[in-house]
């Protein structure tokens, strides 16, 4: 049996096991409540397979995905890369660009950019705030003013894909990839082709990574704009929507195909 047939059989078995209609599955995964989760977790697997393929000849780096029930633990990585030479494990957080967040430039940001959604889905509760402050990660005041943000040391790298920045909600309330004319002409330039299906493929197959530290104001790349932030210039929290600058590719955000360079430093 080929892999596709095997996967279909597994889904049929899954539906039978849980008393679900196999025929309804396409509608179920497209439900507004379900689709963002399927796409978010689906992206983790896309990156896992991308990295396994990219690093298959690299015997220093190994990709791992441990499935963790995040309700039981404080920390669960999306993916890990283990570096044999240093015996270190690096945690990777996979986050899609924010829907419809592309801009050719605004008053304050005069360059083409989009936003990456890197916020917590569950905000920090008082218990965890106490625990983190005791560990010396941040003060209670700092944690309370960034309840829905990640400290930069929560993971090592953030991995993203930009295609979502060109998603809109259509007439049927469905999320779909649909750049407008202005965006298409930007993308034609960015991807160096007029072929729209090639551009779509480029967006699907090119991923970017950033060092978590470089996304936080402490790196001096930006300033925290939280009203109650006690130290906006040295803030250790990753903004909920860090900016991806198309004009500075390779500075904070780098193409994931160059990930090996990050480790060979
Ligand atoms: Zn801050």
How many A from CA of 149 to the centre of ligand 1? 9
Alpha-carbon gap, residue 245 to 208, rounded angstroms: 12
Domain around 238: 89-263
Q: Which residues surround ligand 1, an ion (CB under 5 A)?
A: 224, 226, 229, 235
How many A from CA of 222 to the centre of ligand 1? 10
How many A from CA of 143 to the centre of ligand 1? 9
Q: What average pLDDT score do residues 196-212 get? A: 98
Name residues whose C-beta falls within 8 Å of residue 103's C-beta, 6 or more positions apart in sequence: 109, 112, 113, 114
Name residues whose C-beta falls within 8 Å of residue 200's C-beta, 6 or more positions apart in sequence: 163, 177
Per the structure, the count of domains in the chain is 1
How many A from CA of 226 to the centre of ligand 1? 6
Q: Quick check: is 259 in a domain?
A: yes
How many A from CA of 148 to the centre of ligand 1? 11
Q: What average pLDDT score do residues 138-159 get? A: 94
Strand, coil or helix: 250: coil
Q: Quick check: is 258 in a domain?
A: yes
Percent of the chain residues past pLDDT 70, beyond the cut: 95
Identify the weakest region by mean pLDDT among 21-25, 66-70, 72-76, 251-255: 72-76
Q: Quick check: is 50 in a domain?
A: no
Confidence band of 136 (pLDDT split at 50, 70, 90): confident
Per DSSP, the chain holds a count of helices (H) and strands (E) of: 9, 12
Q: Quick check: is 77 in a domain?
A: no
Q: What average pLDDT score do residues 115-139 get? A: 90
Q: Quick check: is 139 in a domain?
A: yes
**Which pLDDT score is estimated for 32?**
86
- Segment 173-185, tens digit of pLDDT: 888 999 999 999 9
Q: Quick check: is 41 in a domain?
A: no
**Which pLDDT score is estimated for 265?**
62
Q: Pairing between strand 157-160 and 88-94? A: parallel
- Segment 36-69, tens digit of pLDDT: 899 999 999 999 999 999 999 999 999 988 766 5
Q: Quick check: is 13 in a domain?
A: no
How many A from CA of 233 to the centre of ligand 1? 8
């Amino acid at each position: 049996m080929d892999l596709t047939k095997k996967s279909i059989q597994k889904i049929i078995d899954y539906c039978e096991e849980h008393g679900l209609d196999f025929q309804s599955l396409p509608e179920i995964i497209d439900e507004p409540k379900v689709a963002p989760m399927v796409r978010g977790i689906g992206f983790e697997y896309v990156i896992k397979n991308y990295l396994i393929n990219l690093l298959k000849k690299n015997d220093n780096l190994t990709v791992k995905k441990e499935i963790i029930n995040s309700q039981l633990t404080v920390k669960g990585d999306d993916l890990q890369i283990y570096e044999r030479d240093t015996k270190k494990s690096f945690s990777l957080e996979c986050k899609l660009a924010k829907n419809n967040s592309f801009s050719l430039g605004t008053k304050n940001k005069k360059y083409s950019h989009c936003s990456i959604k890197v916020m917590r889905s569950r905000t920090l509760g008082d218990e965890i705030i106490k625990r983190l402050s005791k560990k010396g990660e941040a003060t209670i005041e700092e944690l309370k003013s960034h309840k829905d943000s990640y400290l930069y040391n929560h993971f090592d790298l953030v991995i993203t894909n930009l295609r979502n920045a060109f998603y809109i909600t259509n007439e049927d309330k469905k999320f779909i990839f649909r750049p407008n004319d202005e965006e298409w002409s930007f993308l034609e330039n960015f991807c160096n082709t007029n072929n729209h299906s090639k551009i779509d493929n480029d967006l699907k197959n090119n991923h970017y990574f950033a060092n978590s530290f470089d996304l936080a104001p402490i790196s001096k790349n930006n300033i925290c704009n939280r009203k109650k932030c006690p130290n906006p210039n040295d803030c250790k929290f990753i903004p909920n929507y860090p900016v991806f600058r198309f004009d500075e590719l390779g500075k904070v955000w780098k193409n994931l195909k160059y990930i090996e360079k990050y480790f060979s430093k």
